[in-house]
Amino acid sequence: MLSHLFVNGLTFALLSAICLSLPYDGTQQVLSDHKPSINLPTNDGFVLPVFDSKPVSRAEEIRSNRIGYQYGPPLLGNTSYFPTGPLGDAMVQRDKQMWFQDVQYVTEKVNGIEIPQAARALAEIGGIKTLSDYATLYDGQWKYSIPDGVSPGMLTNWTQDLLFSMERLSNNPYAVKRIHPEDQILPFEVEQSTAKKLTNMSLEELHRTGRLFVADHSIQAGYPTIPGRWTAACTAYFYIHPKSGDFLPLAIKTNVGRNLTYTPLDDENDWLIAKMSFEMNDLFHGQNLHLAATHDVAEPLHQAALRTMSSRHPVRGLLDRLMYQAYAVRPIGDEVLYNPGGFFDQSFALNNEAGRLFAGDMYPVYAGLFRSSQFRPDLVTRGLVNCTYGPQLKSMPFYETVEPMMTAIEDFVTVYVESYYPSDALLTHDLEVQDWMVEAHVGAHVLDFHPAPLTERAKLINILSHIAFLCGIGHHVLNAATLGEAAGILPLHPSAFQKPLPECKGCIDDLMPYLHNDTEALKQASLLVRFNRPLLEEWDGNLVNQWSGKQFLAATSDSVREAAAKFKRTMESISDHIRAQVFDDNGFGPQGMPFIWRSIDPRKIPYYLCV
Ligand X SMILES: *[C@@H]1O[C@H](CO)[C@@H](O)[C@H](O)[C@H]1NC(C)=O
- Residues forming the site for ligand X (CB under 6 A): 78, 152-153, 156-157, 188, 200, 243, 253, 255-256, 259, 364, 376, 379-380, 385-386, 498, 517, 519-520, 583, 587-588, 594
Shortest distance (Å) from residue 211 CB to ligand X: 13
103: left (phi > 0), else alpha (psi -120 to 50), else beta? Answer: alpha
Residue nearest to ligand X (CB): 587
- What one-character-per-residue DSSP string does 327-350 give? GGHHHHIIIIISSTTSHHHHH-SB
Shortest distance (Å) from residue 541 CB to ligand X: 29
Residue placing its CB nearer to ligand X in the complex, 498 or 557:
498
Backbone angles phi, psi at 84, to 5 degrees: -145, -160
Residue placing its CB nearer to ligand X in the complex, 181 or 364:
364
Shortest distance (Å) from residue 38 CB to ligand X: 42
Q: Are 497 and 230 in contact (CB under 8 A)?
A: yes
Shortest distance (Å) from residue 258 CB to ligand X: 8
Shortest distance (Å) from residue 400 CB to ligand X: 11
Shortest distance (Å) from residue 227 CB to ligand X: 11
Residue placing its CB nearer to ligand X in the complex, 108 or 246:
246
CA separation for the pair 552, 554 (Å, rounded) = 5
Estimate the crossing angle of helix 397-420 against helix 558-579, to 10 degrees. 170
Residue placing its CB nearer to ligand X in the complex, 55 or 587:
587
Residue placing its CB nearer to ligand X in the complex, 379 or 471:
379
Backbone angles phi, psi at 275, to 5 degrees: -65, -40
Residue placing its CB nearer to ligand X in the complex, 257 or 422:
257
Shortest distance (Å) from residue 174 CB to ligand X: 15
Reduced to 3 DSSP states, what percent helix, strand and coil does the chain have, rounded to the nearest 5?
55, 5, 40
Closest to 575 measured CA to CA, from 399, 405, 375, 395: 405
SS (H, E, C) 509-549: CCCHHHCCCHHHHHHHHHHHHCCCCCCHHHHCCEHHHCCCC
Question: Which H or E run contains 16?
Answer: helix 2-20
How many Cβ atoms are within 10 Å of 571's Cβ, its own excluded? 27
Closest to 600 measured CA to CA, from 402, 326, 376: 402
Residue placing its CB nearer to ligand X in the complex, 271 or 399:
399
Shortest distance (Å) from residue 137 CB to ligand X: 14
Residue placing its CB nearer to ligand X in the complex, 541 or 592:
592
Residue placing its CB nearer to ligand X in the complex, 26 or 74:
74
- What one-character-per-residue DSSP string does 190-259 give? --HHHHHHHHSS-HHHHHHTT-EEEEE-GGGGGS-B-TT-B----EEEEEE-TTT--EEEEEEE--STT-
Residue placing its CB nearer to ligand X in the complex, 60 or 189:
189
Which ranges of 75-182 would DSSP assign to H, the alpha helix?
Answer: 85-109, 115-124, 161-166
CA separation for the pair 310, 308 (Å, rounded) = 7
Shortest distance (Å) from residue 187 CB to ligand X: 7
CA separation for the pair 271, 29 (Å, rounded) = 53
- Give the CB-side neighbour count of residue 371, counting CA atoms within 13 A: 8
Shortest distance (Å) from residue 160 CB to ligand X: 6
Residue placing its CB nearer to ligand X in the complex, 258 or 569:
258
3-state secondary structure of 261: strand
Shortest distance (Å) from residue 228 CB to ligand X: 6
